[in-house]
Amino acid sequence: MKFKKTQTLQQISQLLSCEFVGKSSFSITGINEIHVVEKGDIVFVDHPKYYSKALNSAATTILINKEVACPEGKSLLISEDPFRDFNKITKHFNPFIASKESISESAIIGEGTIIQPNVFIGDNVSIGKNCVIHPNVTIYSNAIIGNNVTIHANTVLGADAFYYKNRPDAFDKLISGGSVILEDNVDLGASCTIDKGVTGNTTIGAGTKIDNQVHVGHDTVIGKKCLIASQTGIAGCVIIEDEVTIWGQVGTNSGITIGKGAVILGQTGVTKSVEGGKSYFGTPVSESRSKLKELAEIKRLVKEQKKI
């Protein structure tokens, strides 16, 4: 999430009421999660296990709960609770604003696009040309939709990320400040849910077709010309490369990559990253030929055991 105006280290420290390490005029241009940080970003870290990763990431300001040696060319914000203060930054620079109409006056809708009854379109949404948005679709603020996109009834674009910190008394929610991008020629079936990114975007690439009742988690990036069948659940921060086929009732772990041209057969649990150009099946996931041979061998052994 980029700020509309560059901030200084001192300005952010005042917002959070915390100490800082570095020049007071050090420039900060936004906040991001560790997997998408860029120069100028703040990243937060609140566990010693991840200190090194955060300090050595592309982020140039680290919101951290311990004063440590500051890497050259970077700055630190010393916080008692980085998770809480990261939320405070999101709320300040991207506050929730209640809508006053079903289709926002700030939304941009391209020529030839059809909006069916009972559609909700939030602030600053951009929809391209020749799209069809069917009844009861909900498009949260700041979503970007390309040309020739079809979205079927009851689909939701931009719900919050499922991201919580376990506190002693309750779960604390990480506030979502990102959005959703659908590129040209994407089709979404009925009752799909595409969550917004926490700080970046959840993106579905050009030409990808998604069946009914598919869930796509926060910050996931789906490539071009993919096919994803019904009741698939894709976790957050997944990368699905171009021309991947995913059949029905597949589930994935978060943070994995599915390589270009891979085929994931139905009811597979994709528990780890897999290479492109191969077919996969089962839980835990393995190449489909190997898995089917294993199942055949198990069946043979069971028959032999019964004979004994």
Whether residues 71 and 136 share a domain: the answer is no
Does the global pTM surpass 0.85? yes
Whether residues 8 and 136 share a domain: the answer is no
- The answer, yes or no, to whether residue 302 has pLDDT greater than 90, is no
Between the two ends of the chain, the Cα-to-Cα distance in Å is 65
Whether residues 53 and 140 share a domain: the answer is no
Whether residues 52 and 125 share a domain: the answer is no
Torsion of CA 256, 257, 263, 266, to 10 degrees: 20
Say which DSSP state 50 is in.
G
pLDDT value of position 294:
83
CA separation, residue 207 to residues 30, 202, 230, 278 (Å): 31, 16, 17, 21
- The answer, yes or no, to whether residue 230 has pLDDT greater than 90, is yes
Say which DSSP state 116 is in.
-
Whether residues 182 and 275 share a domain: the answer is yes
| CATH number of the domain within which 124 lies | 2.160.10.10
Q: Sign of dihedral through CA atoms 13, 14, 15, 19?
A: positive
pLDDT value of position 301:
85
9-23, 111-125, 153-167, 287-301: lowest mean pLDDT where? 287-301
Tell me how crowded residue 135 is: count the other CB atoms within 10 A of its CB.
12
Coil vs helix vs strand at 265: coil
d(CA 77, CA 74): 10
Q: Which of 36, 60, 93 is the last residue of a domain?
A: 93
- The answer, yes or no, to whether residue 306 has pLDDT greater than 80, is no
d(CA 112, CA 121): 17
Read off φ and ψ for residue 15, nearest 5 degrees.
Answer: -60, -40
Q: Answer whether residue 183 is part of any domain.
A: yes
The edge-to-edge listing of strands for the beta sheet with 215-216 is 120-121, 138-139, 156-159, 193-195, 215-216, 233-234, 251-252, 269-270
Q: Answer whether residue 175 is part of any domain.
A: yes
Whether residues 178 and 241 share a domain: the answer is yes
| CATH number of the domain within which 74 lies | 3.40.1390.10
Write out the residue range of the structural domain in which residue 22 sits.
2-93
pLDDT value of position 289:
84
Of residues 44, 88, 84, 91, the one with CA closest to residue 66: 44
The edge-to-edge listing of strands for the beta sheet with 239-240 is 108-109, 126-127, 144-145, 179-182, 201-204, 221-222, 239-240, 257-258
**Opening angle at CA 135, ends 180 and 120, nearest 5:** 50
Q: Answer whether residue 303 is part of any domain.
A: no
Name the band, by pLDDT with cuts 50, 70 and 90, for residue 228. Answer: very high
Name the band, by pLDDT with cuts 50, 70 and 90, for residue 290. Answer: confident
Which residues participate in catalysis according to the annotation?
A: 218
- The answer, yes or no, to whether residue 57 has pLDDT greater than 90, is yes
Name the band, by pLDDT with cuts 50, 70 and 90, for residue 287. Answer: very high
**Opening angle at CA 185, ends 179 and 186, nearest 5:** 50
**What is the number of structural domains in the chain?**
2
